[in-house]
Structure 1
Amino acid sequence: MTTEFDLGALLAERGAERYELHAKYLNPQLPRMLHTIGFDKTYERAEGAHFFDADGNDYLDMLAGFGVMGLGRHHPVVRKTLHDVLDLSLADLTRFDCPPLPGLLAERLLGHSPHLDRVFFGNSGTEAVETALKFARYATGRPRILYCDHAFHGLTTGSLSVNGEGGFRDGFAPLLPDTAVPLGDLDALARELKKGDVAALIVEPIQGKGVHEAPPGYLRAAQELLHKHKALLIADEVQTGLGRTGDFYAYQHEDGVEPDLVCVAKALSGGYVPVGATLGKDWIFKKVYSSMDRVLVHSASFGSNAQAMAAGLAVLSVMEDEQIVARARTTGELLKSRLTALVDKYELLADVRGRGLMIGIEFGKPGSLKLRSRWTMLQTARKGLFAQMVVVPLLQRHRILTQVSGDHLEVIKLIPPLILDEADVDRFLDAFTAVMDDAHSGGGLMWDFGKTLIKQAVANR
């Protein structure tokens, strides 16, 4: 007897309960936060770089699911590939065979980083980082991992040990032996390496928190220092990889940089299936998997599953056919240049930085007395409130989804789908200009909302 399950009917019947269900059964603070800042929208469907609500209104996505939706939502090639792999009824995850899809995807991935040799497939970015940390410690026989201030590498215990934001770490100690060094500070790196117990430095070529790029020459010089002291360089490309910054990997913007391990995830499956990958040099993998007894010493139950591997192959094919990396570079340059042109126009706008379609917009203390007093009021209540004041009207008035780049940061991060087009850029610039005009006006609806944020910040102290 075949049991039928009608997903569409279930969603039609219960979909309107979405916020109540989350409040009752999942993280209760999420719906509370969304209600507070007016982000409690009801999205019904999505396509490309846009969401649509029940009334057919479209919303421009400048967030891409925290970078997961590199090709936008529901790319037809990736979608069809997933239907195809399900229809093939493959003997998946037997655990005692060597299916072709993981090997084919590894081959395609390694083609973009020819100095690397092997791949481990897991299920997420944090798992890719965990793999790199384990492999680095085992391969070098050393316990300590270096990371950079303000880094974000994940939230499981190992990746949390190399997380540069105290708010994520508080209350979860003890963690792995670790030490933070300032991004770009080679002297600090050298001091730590001289102690002789460092396995590796893990670094984001462009930090997600605040969108801070490693200074020119830093990655190559750090690599030389690390290798001199028999330590490894780990590049965390979970957010910056797969074309996000206008090159396939962000470390490739600097000549001569060849990390020993590279972490990839997020956009690799087109947003459909959880997947992560750790790419590494042959000698590292052979040390970890040194004998048949150690064949499963590091593994993942759902790693290399057929759906994830097929989606990854489809994504890489689309990226090549549609020249996604070049498109991200060109569109990113257009968006960044037009935003940079506004810095001199708005005194609250301090900086625009980033590469490709990973752009940070930073706000800062204004010069005029009236705006300065309002800015000070917000900063006294809680740093980061002004950036939130920008994010909210972008969504509520202009139907554009963005994010603040980190706790207590006056930075908005733009990481839209890499298929963003010129019309989308125009729409964002028009909306952002309107919000900035309002913030700099004599009254301003934004400042009224700011009072609500101040009350909320004070209440949560």
Structure 2
Amino acid sequence: MTTEFDLGRLLAERGAERYELHGKYLNHQLPRMLHTIGFDKVYERGEGAYFWDADGNDYLDMLAGFGVMGLGRHHPVVRKALHDVLDAQLADLTRFDCQPLPGLLAEKLLTHSPHLDRVFFGNSGTEAVETALKFARYATGKPRVLYCDHAFHGLTTGSLSVNGESGFRDGFAPLLPDTAVPLGDLDALSRELKKGDVAALVVEPVQGKGVHEPPPGYLRAAQELLRKHKALLIADEVQTGLGRTGDFYAYQHEDGVEPDLVCVAKALSGGYVPVGATLGKDWIFKKVYSSMDRVLVHSASFGSNAQAMAAGLAVLSVMENEQIVANARVTGDLLRSRLTALIDKYELLADVRGRGLMIGIEFGRPKSLKLRGRWTMLQAARKGLFAQMVVVPLLQRHRILTQVSGDHLEVIKLIPPLVVGEKEVDRFVDAFTDVMDDAHSGSGLMWDFSKTLVKQAVANR
């Protein structure tokens, strides 16, 4: 007799073991880290920009699953599309036919970048970047790829080759031929291009680590240099694309920029299904897929699957019908202006920057003697501890989930779901103000917690 699988029953019986199961069978350092900083919460459900725990307390999500939940959790239109595509019982992934959904999603996606012609669908942002790197090298016949200092483009081997942080690269070499150039430095770019072996420059129009933008005009000038040397411009829009910065793509903030290849992922499926896409010019695709013998020269087993394609179509429909991009621009401007107004009030607050709903809050060395001593203590133990001191009480006292923007950075990055509005801005700014008041009092819970962070940092050296 066949016993029916009951997911609800399994979760009811074993859900409380979640941290123990992870520590035993998955990455054992994750639960350890979460316990240390007090992030070992048990979230029971999520909807829109909020989570709820078992006691019914709501938590504001200013992280969006590292940008995956662009429409928030469980948007009803995306949910219905997934139910519909499962009920349709399509003959999916036969691999030797052409299903309608991939073509329809590609057509819709390309309307937002009319200078591009074709799409390859994979399963993640790092796959989208891998595709762009392979296509650029094959199309140009050149081996080397340029990237920017402090860039993040993924963690598979090719993407890791263009990752600007040594902490991710150490121990995984040898990687692809590559060279880092400073973000915004056209002279450095020109010097590398003159060597004649560069296939492409891959760049985030707004860097995720630290939330840094290139200087105005850089992307356009870089594009002209690349074309002069028959190299390609790859825009990594995995985190910045699909409305995050207040335009559909972040490169569109600068007139005349038309990348040869564009990478998207994360928010494309509404957070439900792994998906990635590489958009490119017709001649590049035709060079890679130059004959019937090469029809499978680059492919993905789960690429273009019906669930991902249906979710992507639903996401783009919601973005258009609910004016998601305009909301990201307006709400982002409001949040950034409210936070910028606090810089003169708090000596520990150094900068607020970003575009749309991708905002970096940077902390810096205070002027007053009492705070300077505490700041110096933290910096000596490990750079980035003060930002972590802010993130923790935002969650513990105010039930707001945020993140430090990168290892050894005194920057908090805000990338909330693009559906947040004035109510969420008010809640975050009020909470942030309370935390900064506590930090500037020179005592209190924040500085008590700093002792735990310092001990942990010293122990991990």
State the TM-score, normalized to the length of structure 1: 1.00
- SS of match in other structure, 1:224: helix
Q: CA deviation at 1:130?
A: 0.1
State the distance in 2 between where 1:424 and 1:354 align.
18
Q: CA deviation at 1:3?
A: 4.2
Question: Could you list the runs of 4 or more consecutive aligned residues of structure 1 that deviate by over 4 angstroms after TM superposition?
Answer: none
What are the superposed Cα offsets for residues 223-259 of structure 1, whole Å, 9 maximum, x if unpaired? 0000000000000000000000000000000000000
What are the superposed Cα offsets for residues 129-169 of structure 1, whole Å, 9 maximum, x if unpaired? 00000000000000000000000000000000000000000
Q: CA deviation at 1:442?
A: 3.5
What are the superposed Cα offsets for residues 337-374 of structure 1, whole Å, 9 maximum, x if unpaired? 00000000000000000000000000000000000010
- SS of match in other structure, 2:32: helix
State the distance in 2 between where 1:4 and 1:76 align.
27
State the distance in 2 between where 1:236 and 1:107 align.
20
Partner of 1:231: 231
State the distance in 2 between where 1:175 and 1:192 align.
18
Q: CA deviation at 1:445?
A: 1.2
Q: CA deviation at 1:443?
A: 1.6
What are the superposed Cα offsets for residues 262-318 of structure 1, whole Å, 9 maximum, x if unpaired? 000000000000000000000000000000000000000000000000000000000
Q: CA deviation at 1:86?
A: 0.1
- SS of match in other structure, 2:168: helix
State the distance in 2 between where 1:442 and 1:321 align.
48
State the distance in 2 between where 1:280 and 1:120 align.
8
State the distance in 2 between where 1:381 and 1:443 align.
19
State the distance in 2 between where 1:96 and 1:456 align.
54
Partner of 1:280: 280
State the distance in 2 between where 1:84 and 1:157 align.
37
Q: In structure 2, do the counterparts of structure 1 residues 326 and 308 end up closer, same or farther at CA, with 3 Å as the change threshold? A: same
Are the aligned partners of 2:371 and 2:442 in contact in 1 as well (CA < 8 Å)? no
Partner of 1:209: 209
State the distance in 2 between where 1:356 and 1:421 align.
12
What are the superposed Cα offsets for residues 82-121 of structure 1, whole Å, 9 maximum, x if unpaired? 0000000000000000000000000000000000000000
Q: Equivalences for 1:91-170 in 2 at 5 Å?
A: 91-170=91-170
What are the superposed Cα offsets for residues 303-334 of structure 1, whole Å, 9 maximum, x if unpaired? 00000000000000000000000000000000
Q: CA deviation at 1:2?
A: 5.4
Are the aligned partners of 2:124 and 2:274 in contact in 1 as well (CA < 8 Å)? yes
What are the superposed Cα offsets for residues 144-201 of structure 1, whole Å, 9 maximum, x if unpaired? 0000000000000000000000000000000000000000000000000000000000
Q: CA deviation at 1:214?
A: 1.3
Are the aligned partners of 2:200 and 2:234 in contact in 1 as well (CA < 8 Å)? yes
Number of aligned residue pairs: 461
State the distance in 1 between where 2:275 and 2:442 align.
49
State the distance in 2 between where 1:38 and 1:421 align.
28
- The Cα RMSD (Å) is 0.5
Question: What percent identity do the matched residue pairs reach?
Answer: 91
What are the superposed Cα offsets for residues 6-64 of structure 1, whole Å, 9 maximum, x if unpaired? 00000000000000000000000000000000000000000000000000000000000
State the distance in 2 between where 1:6 and 1:100 align.
33
Query: What residue ranges of structure 2 are gaps of 5+ in the alignment?
Result: none
Are the aligned partners of 2:71 and 2:418 in contact in 1 as well (CA < 8 Å)? yes
State the distance in 1 between where 2:332 and 2:30 align.
31
State the distance in 2 between where 1:298 and 1:4 align.
39
